[in-house]
Amino acid sequence: MNNNFFNADGWNWRNAVADFQKSHAGKSTWQLLNSLLPYMLLWYLMYLSLDWSYWITLLLAIPAAGFTVRLFIFQHDCGHGSFFRSRKVNDNVGILCSIFTLTPYHYWKLNHNIHHANAGNLEQRGIGDIYTMTVSEYLALSKWGRFKYRLYRNPLILFIIVPTFLFLVMYRFPTVRAKVLKPTYPSIYYTDVMLLALFLLLGWWIGFINLLAIQLPITILASTAGLWLFYVQHQYEDTYWDHNENWDFARAAIEGSSFYKLPKILQWFTGNIGFHHIHHLSPKIPNYNLEKCHKRNPELQKARTLTLLSSLRSMFLVLWDENQKKLVSFRYLKKLQPELE
């Protein structure tokens, strides 16, 4: 794919996505209701199941985590101003969702928008993304530096421990100290206050041990699924990365974001975020219009398609090879410089 693709045969991507950028208050409200209410019901059923079997509780945690991911997508859409037309309504709904997702709304909103503005730009890594080193950067590290990066990119660490720690601990503090994020720090603190008040209230009502027995499996499953979605939609072998002087927004969206073709039930729970190439091309498109935009534009269907099975290979792609213009695994380094590995 090249830059000519975006103007091939008179096709203009800006015009193509413009028709789908309008939100519908009724659809958004219905999505909120058909996700928030079932989540609350499942949470209550998990509480009741504690008197029967904790295995039932854990089983119920799976759909509850699915609804948490779905609520996160709504919070995400609110942050892009695409869920409702009113900025005030978007912010209020986003803050409401943040209580269930454990994610400070305004802080994450700005952090994520920085990601959108710089995805695929090698000079702008570090905010709102899964940090990825180039081969040359990795080889320039000390043995201790390589060990730390390998530890960070270990699938068990990255997809189980990191997301749980991120949502439970790191989102309680302004861990990213970029000046541009400083105005959003209050978002972290008032989210913490709301969560603490809710934790104390629910703990007093049902017992703190019961509360943790219910919420922890939901958070672990939802955070793992959420990080995996965010990861796999940008980290695949022939993704797009380039230096600032050559970086192109449209190419970064289409070539650097995958179309994650999921089974319909998972597509529903993930709020159509699998159409990630379209989302990056136009964040103003609400989640319920992404599939329509994809089907209406054959040009957008040329994006890299991943399935559940094919996406698993992505977890071992950890370094960007600037010579081959693709992501590679640590195993690749053994062929490159066996004495270093």
Q: What is the pLDDT along the chain (341 residues), one digit of tens a residue?
A: 444 445 445 567 888 888 899 999 999 999 999 999 999 999 999 999 999 999 999 999 999 999 999 999 999 999 999 999 999 999 999 999 999 999 999 999 999 998 888 888 998 887 778 889 999 999 999 999 999 999 999 999 999 999 999 999 999 998 776 778 889 999 999 999 999 999 999 999 999 999 999 999 999 999 999 999 999 999 999 999 999 899 988 888 889 999 999 999 999 999 999 999 999 999 999 999 999 999 998 888 888 899 999 999 999 999 999 989 999 999 888 776 654 54
Question: What residues contact residue 209 under an 8 Å CB cut-off, 6+ apart?
Answer: none
Quote the domain boundaries for residue 94.
Answer: 3-340
pLDDT at 179: 79
What pTM was estimated for this model as a whole? 0.92
Give the position of tokens 């990630």. 276
d(CA 130, CA 235): 9
**Count of domains for the chain:** 1
- Written as one letter, the residue type at 319 is L
Provide the β-strand partners of residue 251. none
d(CA 293, CA 165): 36
d(CA 252, CA 80): 18
Residue 245 CB-density burial (10 A; 0-12 exposed, 13-18 middle, 19+ buried): exposed
- Written as one letter, the residue type at 181 is L
Tokens describing residue 82: 């695409």
DSSP one-letter code for 160: I
Tokens describing residue 119: 């995805």
pLDDT at 82: 96
